[in-house]
Chains A and B, each alone.
Chain A
Amino acid sequence: MSTNGKFAVIGKPLPRVDAVAKVTGRAVYADDMLLPRTLHCRILRSPHPHARIVSIDTSAARRMPGVQAVITGADLPIKFGILPVTQDERALEHEKVRYVGDPIAAVAATDEEIAAAACDAIAVEFEVLEPVMSIDEGLAAPKDERIQDYGGPNNIHKLVALEFGDVEGGFARADHVREDVFFFQGSTHLPMEQHSAIATYVDGRVTLWSSTQVVHYVHRALAKVLEMPMNRIRVIGAAHGGGFGGKTDPFAHEIIVSKLAMMTGRPVKCTLTREEVFYAHRGRHPVLMWVRTGVTRDGRITAMHFRSALDGGAYGSYGVASTFYTGALQTVTYDIPAYRFEGCRVFTNKPPCGPKRGHGTPQPRFALEVHLEKIAHELGIDPVDLKQGNFVKPMTRTVNWLRVTSCGLDECTERVMSASGYRKREKRSGHGMGFAISSYLSGAGTAIYWNDMPHSEVQIKVDRGGVTAYCGAMEIGQGSDSVLAAIVAEELGLQPPDVRLVTADTDTTPIDLGSYSSRVTFMAGNAAIEAARKMRAMLVEAAASKMACDPTAVEVGGGRIGDFSFEEVSILAEARFGTLTSAGSYTPPKIAGPYKGAGVGPSPAYSYSACVVDLDADARTGLVHVNRIWIAHDVGRAINPLLVQGQVEGSVYMGLGEALMEEQAFRKGLHKWPSMLEYKSPTFLDMPDVETFIVETVDPEGPYGAKEAGQGPLLPVPPAVSCAVYDALGVWIDEVPITPEKIVEGLRRKAKGEPARFGPPRFPAIPYPPPIKVEPPSKDLDRAAPAAI
């Protein structure tokens, strides 16, 4: 910030710092790398959803010309997993396979075709087991054996039950109580770039370039499985072709190429095929949900009880966190005085589910928004009024101990209401408008593995006028490099292109936990401010000394510090202080509530969104045509409005895809459509015009007040579409995706006099434990924060 308090860079719609590399094809993605003597790796994967491995014979593969190495699970027996509590994966399985696509063996060969042919030559004898393919089957006693040897009963992975406040009393006080059941189908990230990794082994050190979102977690998994100290392993994030959560787990192929490089002494590369990407997955959990809410006559919520059942796929992945997330953020948008949450994740013989944009929260958001819409209709209250009457207030604590600081829900709602004309909309059959809101984390407040260290660190070096910022943060297309450059430039009176960035390299950059949970702008941004202000103080002191004035009299801005150019000052300062380096770090405040499971949900700040969808729906065909979407997003402060708009528009797009068409579905263990043609995603022709409003609430702890933008705006889109379909045709579609078949079937039932609804008929009986009862905090933020803030 310049001395006069005005921003020179922050808030300006500047191009990305990597824009030219990307528009000229010069950004180097992992699969673009081909080091001399590179071997190509292919992975043999299970053709069965559930089977014991009786034997693996690799002898024929090993004899093939061009084959340099063949490995199986015996070579990589140590288990890993993203969460410390679910270390249940092997890079290669040699005992049992749990989904079609589970890796069994890997080959390194002089070319990819030879490697693929060698995989075919590996003979695996299986004892095929009965697969478990649905939530209901996962809850029931297994026909053969359980998928995993932990959790239970049956194939239940995780059960949670929490109760905050007097839930029974809340329901007793209600004038009206309603129950609904919803289903949100799974979907996958479908990044344009297939996962790719290339490893070398030189001088006893492994170096891995990967299309990952989290170099640090890959680093940890490699150290564990390869049994090497972390200081012998270097993980570098290559230019990244899209993640959306799908590259947030450590993956088998990353470990495999590292091992093969160690064995062969040559670079080894593995790029997944598109089909393999569908099976690697870690995407949106299919979730069945039941919700019961009590309200007063005028629509105030008195109590809520929410149940979820997640179809987790074959491994843990982020699933324990995902389970908690299906119950965590309901309270962050609506003031719910008493709340009970019961969650359950089951193992099934399908690719593991994990985090996809919104991680575990779009599903309950869909249920909650449509459920409240139905309650409003029953009470004869305008749904927008009912929701708005329950909005949380800024600077409060929720009943489940989440700390809300800035909150722009009201302003977001007003912006989309006035722009869309929702309240004055023309009522005619076949045309509808729907409204929904949402919230999301600006970074998870707790790390994936327990530690007291900072979540993000930035170092700055100034040398002969050149500024380099080092940070472990991973640019995945969201613009994190541009945000870091903007912040450092702002503080040093420069422009973003003046700042050189070194990011996502575990050898040369200080830690950042990675690009997940919308954490980078908030956490790396705050670390960058601290580092840059320390550097600025040194430069200002050097300038003041030369000018013989007080440092407070030194102006910073426009590439100058005091009477000198930036380069001149850097020389003065280096002469005065020696090597010019500074560092900053960010640790989130300890604000989690006093109960087990409280680690999922807290964030230093929450973003808020409101959305209106306008569509036409054809009662005869069930076809939906979305005309326009209005979205307002409370980002706290837009460090770069161009990037914020891009994140918001991209989130709306992805939400619309999930709302209308995207489906990760299986038949007999096989993905129904593992190709980009058959897995329907919106094209240029499907995407309506989107009108974006950026709302700035200037969060007290965000960098310059900034919060997240990359995930929250996805969440209101599916429920807004469902509400708009009801507005158009008078039929509730309580299930995502909202396909023409479901609309037509719902209308057929309505015509027969049955409830005008398509959705899951019931919620299964689940052996939830008795809930852990948690005393709610005081709503007042100051009084409610015991040792925190």
Chain B
Amino acid sequence: MKHEMTRDVQREVIALDVNGERRELLLPVHKTLLEVLREDMQLTGTKHGCELGECGTCTVLVDGRPELSCLVLPIQVAGRAITTIEGLAAGAKLHPLQQAFAELGAAQCGYCTPGILLSAKSLLETNARPSRDEIREALAGNLCRCTGYTKILEAVELAAGRMT
């Protein structure tokens, strides 16, 4: 695909509510939420793996529901509550999911981990004690190449047990 060499880029001031902090940003309207989080807000905990909505690595929560930030434009989520991995811990205290992932070795290279943690958080908010198959179903959109998924399943179960 040929890239446009020059074009007039439309920009808008968009207010984003990320991890409870509101920021107004002047953004090209075509820039994805993933790019804005990483490049304009320095929230690099959100990773990219494909930029095509295939791997789940860039998952963030919008009003508590997982969204692929590479497929979302900021204007779609202006004013809604966005949670990234940086907003998962309460200050220096890890979220129970983070704690369980750390304890059980559920993160190896760690690149898919932020997205998986956020998908898992959303799951546990709607289903406090999911079965292993329900966890598999909820996380099926998040690929991981290191762990073979086993330790991730165990960590979600451990966290769910501790949270209820």
Which residues from chain A sit less than 8 Å from chain B, CB to CB?
Answer: 13, 15-16, 18-29, 31-32, 34, 64-65, 113, 116-117, 119-121, 189-194, 239-242, 244, 273-274, 476-479, 642-643, 645-646, 649-654, 675-677, 681, 683-685, 687, 689-690
Inter-subunit contact A646/B52 (CB<8 Å):
no
How many A-B Cβ pairs are below 8 Å? 181
Q: Which of B46, B94, B104, B135 contacts A24 (CB 8 A)?
A: B94
Query: Which residues from A are CB-within-8-Å of B3?
Result: 113, 116-117, 119-120
Given contacts A20-B102, A675-B50, A685-B137, 11 further A-B contacts (CB under 8 A): A23-B101, A23-B107, A25-B114, A28-B44, A64-B6, A117-B4, A192-B111, A650-B147, A676-B50, A683-B141, A685-B140
A335 vs B23: C-alpha distance in the bound complex, in angstroms? 68
Q: Which of A16, A653, A654 contacts B107 (CB 8 A)?
A: A16
Inter-subunit contact B86/A24 (CB<8 Å):
yes
Shortest CB distance A146–B (Å): 33
Say what secondary structure dominates the interface of chain A: loop
Inter-subunit contact A26/B50 (CB<8 Å):
no
Q: A23-B102, A121-B5 are in contact. Are A689 and B150 (CB under 8 A)?
A: yes
The 9 closest A-B pairs by CB, nearest first: A25-B45, A477-B109, A22-B110, A653-B148, A241-B111, A25-B85, A19-B102, A649-B148, A32-B44
Interface size on B, residues (CB 8 A): 61
Q: A23-B117, A274-B50 are in contact. Are A242 and B98 (CB under 8 A)?
A: no
Q: Across the interface, name the chain B residue whose C-beta is closest to A239.
A: B110
Q: Which of B49, B88, B151 contacts A274 (CB 8 A)?
A: B49
Q: Is B55 an interface residue (CB 8 A)?
A: yes
Q: Across the interface, name the chain B residue whose C-beta is closest to A273.
A: B51
Q: Which of A24, A194, A476 contacts B85 (CB 8 A)?
A: A24
Inter-subunit contact B45/A677 (CB<8 Å):
no
Query: Which residues from A are CB-within-8-Å of B150?
Result: 649, 687, 689-690
Q: Is B128 an interface residue (CB 8 A)?
A: no
Q: A192-B49, A676-B143 are in contact. Are A478 and B55 (CB under 8 A)?
A: no
Inter-subunit contact B111/A242 (CB<8 Å):
yes
Inter-subunit contact A194/B48 (CB<8 Å):
yes
Q: A649-B147, A689-B150 are in contact. Are A23 and B105 (CB under 8 A)?
A: no
Q: Across the interface, name the chain A residue whose C-beta is closest to B147.
A: A650
Inter-subunit contact A15/B103 (CB<8 Å):
yes
Query: Which residues from A are CB-within-8-Å of B55?
Result: 192, 676
A24 vs B91: C-alpha distance in the bound complex, in angstroms? 11
Q: Is B18 an interface residue (CB 8 A)?
A: no
Inter-subunit contact B146/A29 (CB<8 Å):
no
A478 vs B109: C-alpha distance in the bound complex, in angstroms? 7
Inter-subunit contact B145/A242 (CB<8 Å):
yes
Ordered by A's residue number, 18 sampled pairs between the chains whose C-beta atoms are within 8 Å are A23-B99, A25-B113, A113-B3, A117-B5, A120-B2, A120-B5, A189-B145, A192-B109, A241-B109, A477-B111, A650-B108, A653-B147, A675-B50, A676-B55, A683-B143, A684-B137, A684-B152, A687-B136
Q: A22-B107, A117-B5, A681-B143 are in contact. Are A192 and B112 (CB under 8 A)?
A: yes
Query: Which residues from A are CB-within-8-Å of B68?
Result: none
Inter-subunit contact B45/A29 (CB<8 Å):
no
Q: Across the interface, name the chain A residue whose C-beta is closest to B153.
A: A684
Inter-subunit contact A192/B145 (CB<8 Å):
yes
Q: Is B139 an interface residue (CB 8 A)?
A: yes
Query: Which residues from A are CB-within-8-Å of B148?
Result: 649-654, 687, 690
Shortest CB distance A355–B (Å): 16
Q: A24-B86, A24-B89, A120-B3 are in contact. Are A645 and B98 (CB under 8 A)?
A: no
Inter-subunit contact B57/A24 (CB<8 Å):
no
A194 vs B52: C-alpha distance in the bound complex, in angstroms? 13
Q: Is B124 an interface residue (CB 8 A)?
A: no
Shortest CB distance A659–B (Å): 13
Inter-subunit contact A23/B145 (CB<8 Å):
no
Inter-subunit contact B49/A193 (CB<8 Å):
yes
Inter-subunit contact B109/A193 (CB<8 Å):
yes
